[in-house]
């Protein structure tokens, strides 16, 4: 019934299972998309009224200013961020 989906999983199995090699804290951070969805919804509120931009730079500036405004409202920290940060530091020592 879902042959295309099964074939996709089989063809990409190495990439899919690489996710499982990360610690639980990092896996949860990766598959939790609420933060991204909230940010995108907030961006849509700012850009909904303006359907057409004169050029690409105007659109980028509008999105940049909206992102700056949205980020001021975010006061919550990620639950168990200390543990997550430690796991990220262990897995990616030269990137943090």
CB within 8 Å of 85: residues ≥ 6 apart: 96
10-49 residue pLDDT tens: 999 998 888 888 898 888 888 776 777 888 888 888 878 7
DSSP code for 14: H
Structural domain for 51, as ranges:
23-91
Residue 70 inside a domain? The answer is yes
Beta carbons within 8 Å of 89's beta carbon, 6+ residues apart: 96
In the chain, the number of structural domains is: 1
C-alpha distances in Å from residue 15, one per residue of 18, 26, 28, 30: 5, 16, 17, 14
Q: Is residue 47 part of a domain?
A: yes
Domain assignment present for 29:
yes
Domain for residue 3, yes or no? no
Whether residue 96 lies inside any domain: the answer is no
pLDDT tens-digit profile of 63-93?
Answer: 898 888 888 777 777 788 889 899 999 988 8
């Amino acid at each position: 019934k879902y042959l295309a989906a099964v074939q996709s999983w089989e063809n990409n199995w190495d990439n899919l299972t690489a996710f499982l090699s990360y610690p639980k804290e990092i896996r949860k951070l990766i598959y939790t998309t609420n933060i991204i969805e909230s940010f995108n919804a907030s961006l849509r509120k700012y850009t909904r009224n303006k359907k057409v931009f004169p050029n690409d730079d105007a659109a980028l500036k509008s999105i940049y200013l909206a992102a700056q405004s949205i980020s001021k409202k975010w006061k919550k920290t990620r639950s168990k961020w200390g543990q997550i940060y430690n796991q990220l530091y262990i897995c990616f020592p030269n990137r943090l």
